[in-house]
Amino acid sequence: MSSGQRIRLEAYARLGRGKKHAKWQPVSLCIYKNYPRVKVYDERCDGCGDCVEVCPEKILHIEDGKVRVEDVEECSLCSDCVKACRKEPKAIEVSWDKNSFILTLESTGVLDPKRIFLEAINIFNKKAESFIRCLEEIEEPGENG
Ligand code: SF4
Ligand code: SF4
């Protein structure tokens, strides 16, 4: 631009949802998993360390000749530790809590992750309320004649 020239900019902000177009999507990643449970049966475990070797997340270690879990939330539920254990019955078991979840949400930067989550819950609640209203409006069989 030359000296003295100016730019006139007119900009419009349009609100929308990622459901309609990806340009409104505030997250780059959103995944969840059930809360892992890793149980070690001390009476069966001989501390051989085979499960420790194969764990891809490196969350198992040997302490006083027994396996201990360091950070169970990092468990990927792969069950490699169970497959590696040669004891029968197995000295280690992996399962998950079907009522607890670990949600991972990565923002694109447009909104704070906490705000994104709370907005999503608000939208979900409104949809649930609308659904309940629709159900209530359905006439029971036999009503009005
Ligand atoms: S299930 Fe996989 S990630 Fe979890 S403790 Fe066992 S080997 Fe490690
Ligand atoms: S592989 Fe089995 S016996 Fe060996 S340390 Fe792990 S749980 Fe214990």
Structural domain contains residue 8: no
Q: How many domains does the chain have?
A: 1
Structural domain contains residue 140: no
Q: Whole domain around residue 63: which residue ranges? A: 22-135
CB 79 within 8 A of CB 94: yes
Structural domain contains residue 144: no
The pLDDT tens digits for 86-125 are: 999 999 999 999 999 999 999 999 999 999 999 999 999 9
| pLDDT reported for residue 144 | 56
Q: With the C-alpha atoms ordered 97, 99, 102, 106, is the resulting torsion angle positive or negative?
A: positive
| pLDDT reported for residue 141 | 67
Q: Average pLDDT by consecutive 10-residue portion of the chain (145 residues)?
A: 94 90 93 97 97 98 96 96 98 97 95 94 96 89 58
Structural domain contains residue 114: yes
| Spatial separation of the C-alpha atoms in residues 72 and 61, rounded to whole Å | 12
Residue with CA closest to ligand 2 atom 8: 45
Structural domain contains residue 2: no
Structural domain contains residue 110: yes
**CATH number of the domain encompassing residue 88:** 3.30.1360.10
| pLDDT reported for residue 12 | 95
| 30 CA to centre of ligand 1 in angstroms | 22
Structural domain contains residue 94: yes
| 74 CA to centre of ligand 2 in angstroms | 19
Structural domain contains residue 108: yes
pTM value?
A: 0.76
Assess whether the C-beta atom of 113 lies below 6 angstroms from ligand 2. Answer: no
| 96 CA to centre of ligand 1 in angstroms | 12
